[in-house]
Amino acid sequence: MLEVERRRTFAIISHPDAGKTTLTEKLLLYGGALHVAGAVKSRKAARHAVSDWMALEKEKGISITSSVLQFDHDGRRFNLLDTPGHADFSEDTYRPLSAVDSAVMLVDVAKGVEPRTLKLFEVCRLRKLPVMTFVNKMDRPGLDPLDLMDQVGTKLNIRTTALNWPVRDDSHTFVGVFDRRSNRVVLFEREMAGTVVASERTFSIDDPALAAAIGAKSLANVREELSLLDAAGDAWDYDAYLRGEVTPFFFGSAMTNAGVPLLLDALGGIAPPPTTTPATEGARLPTDPAFSGFIFKIQANMNPRHRDRIAFLRVASGRFERGMEVIISRTGKTLRLNKPHTFMADERSIVDEALPGDIVGLYDPGELRLGDTLYNGSPVTFRSIPRFAPEHFARVKLRDPTRRKHLQEGLQQLSQEGAIQLFYQEGLGKADPYLGAVGQLQFEVLKYRLEAEYGTRAELEGAPFTAARWIGGAPEGLAWLRSRGDYLLVSDRHDQPVVLASSIWPLNYASSTAPGLELYDVSP
């Protein structure tokens, strides 16, 4: 129970370019996992962020695939899931959110709540995840902090409360924060900030040295703002935070390290330890002695030379041990878990044991799928991880027909890890599938990985579809679709029936006309 209590498993969510990967690097820096932090600046940057391990990520300066980063700090064990911010890789963001107990929402002080932030927050709300907010880039011009808090509260329909407050000097430069939990002002040293741990100075707000450090006028402004917060702001309610009803605010600059240590302390102090994982069959508390866990991510070719396939397991209960045998809930098969790893992005080390909240990488011989439950003892099946309906479609043109076997292998493995969705036309087998993607950039990544990892150069042809829906409901509805010539029926790689359409209108017509038909934009 003590080991479970000291775990913190969380994700960072944000709109692209809000500084998420930079914040990830700085949390690792202050957590002692790095000695020098890298930053994502451009394709010519000398250093690249540890969490961006794929070659294409380093070339483009964006996060494409989620990374798993584990480190210890101040008696806590942190499991940080760094996720893509770009909308084209949203599915690889949704999946890790099923494996965390809380989230940090990163907001650019100049831009406020952006569309991607809103969409990701709604996923957190659906999972009832506690969310703390880090307002980034405070060293640059931006929105007034009170206006920003009001915007977040209004757009996200959540209460907001500031656990620290920005401090500026008489030149309007962001120099520190007032920590409302300790009633201390923390000023950041800028000379060494950025790539290494920087020193801090703390003051009582009544310390005469503080007025000398930031200026009497600035101190008066800070006092006035704090009085306004105390009078009109929402009080801090820890239980409401755990229920996802209030988000605590922290202010800082990941690029200069300002505010990062206080955020890390808050993650250790107020973010929740592992919680109960929702199940469709059975139930497991984190402190249940019987082992259970679920697969939330599959990554092919993390080591291209060995063509390995790693399944990422979130431990839900009990103790994971190297070499143990578990049951796959979906198939009933027994699987021995040899060579388990923990990760720092693509750097791995053998792990002998793991506890609830920990993330373990398993060598997968092809037995596992996204969302699979693994367990010992009484049966349990955790809720499946949904797939979202693609909005972009294509077909593959192979340049070299002799590489067709490699192409099929690549498409199968990359679809199993969720990088792409495959749809097979009825009666044509699995030789020439339609490809589906949530975002167009997924196709570019697919072509890159097919060539880099499978030695297959392929071109993609656009397909005349903009929508896909999984088919459910009464059998008469499916029969109605089959009887018409203006709907294309396909099946996904799990043999579930899917209908493809050129627009949403024929799908709406089918839903309202076909007897008993149900169409889903999330896989059932």
Report the alpha-carbon distance of residue 8 to residue 268 in Å, rounded.
7
Residue 115 domain flag: yes
Domain count, the chain: 3
Q: How many CB atoms lie within 10 A of CB 513?
A: 10
Residue 399 and residue 504 in one domain: yes
Residue 257 and residue 287 in one domain: no
| Structural domain for 13, as ranges | 2-164+234-269
| Residue position matching structure tokens 């006309």 | 513
Average pLDDT, the chain: 85
Q: Where would I find the H helices in 69-192?
A: 91-97, 115-126, 145-156
Residue 423 and residue 295 in one domain: no
> Last residue of some domain: 339, 362, 382?
382
pLDDT at 65 over 60: no
Residue 78 domain flag: yes
Residue 129 and residue 30 in one domain: yes
CATH (domain of 310): 3.40.50.300
Q: Which of 13, 11, 16 is nearest to 441 (CA)?
A: 16
The string of pLDDT tens digits covering residues 8-29 is 999 998 887 888 888 988 898 8
Report the alpha-carbon distance of residue 238 to residue 423 in Å, rounded.
46
DSSP, collapsed to helix, strand or coil, labels residue 369 as coil
Residues above pLDDT 90, as percent of the chain: 52
The string of pLDDT tens digits covering residues 166-190 is 999 988 899 999 999 999 999 987 6
Residue 242 and residue 375 in one domain: no
Q: Where are the beta strands (DSSP E) in 463-504?
A: 467-473, 488-492, 497-501
The string of pLDDT tens digits covering residues 327-346 is 999 999 999 998 887 765 44
- Least reliable range by pLDDT among 108-112, 367-371, 513-517: 367-371
Residue 513 domain flag: yes
Residue 375 and residue 396 in one domain: no
CB 32 within 8 A of CB 262: no
Report the alpha-carbon distance of residue 127 to residue 11 in Å, rounded.
13
- The whole-number pLDDT of residue 89 equals 43
> Last residue of some domain: 211, 245, 269?
269
Residue 421 and residue 494 in one domain: yes
Residue 221 domain flag: no
Residue 214 domain flag: no
Q: How many CB atoms lie within 10 A of CB 471?
A: 20
Residue 213 domain flag: no
Residue 360 and residue 332 in one domain: yes
DSSP H or E segment with residue 477: helix 475-482
The string of pLDDT tens digits covering residues 416-434 is 777 789 999 877 777 789 9
The string of pLDDT tens digits covering residues 427-484 is 777 778 999 988 787 888 888 888 888 889 889 999 999 999 999 999 999 999 999 8
Q: What is the mean pLDDT of residues 46-63?
A: 42
Residue 364 and residue 407 in one domain: no
Residue 204 domain flag: no
CATH (domain of 492): 3.30.70.3280
Residue 463 and residue 503 in one domain: yes
pLDDT at 199 over 70: yes
pTM to 2 decimal places: 0.78
Residue 197 domain flag: no
Residue 256 and residue 400 in one domain: no
Which residues sit opposite 492 in a β-bridge?
Answer: 423
- Least reliable range by pLDDT among 212-226, 257-271, 299-313, 327-341: 299-313
Residue 361 and residue 456 in one domain: no
> Last residue of some domain: 358, 382, 406?
382
- The whole-number pLDDT of residue 340 equals 85
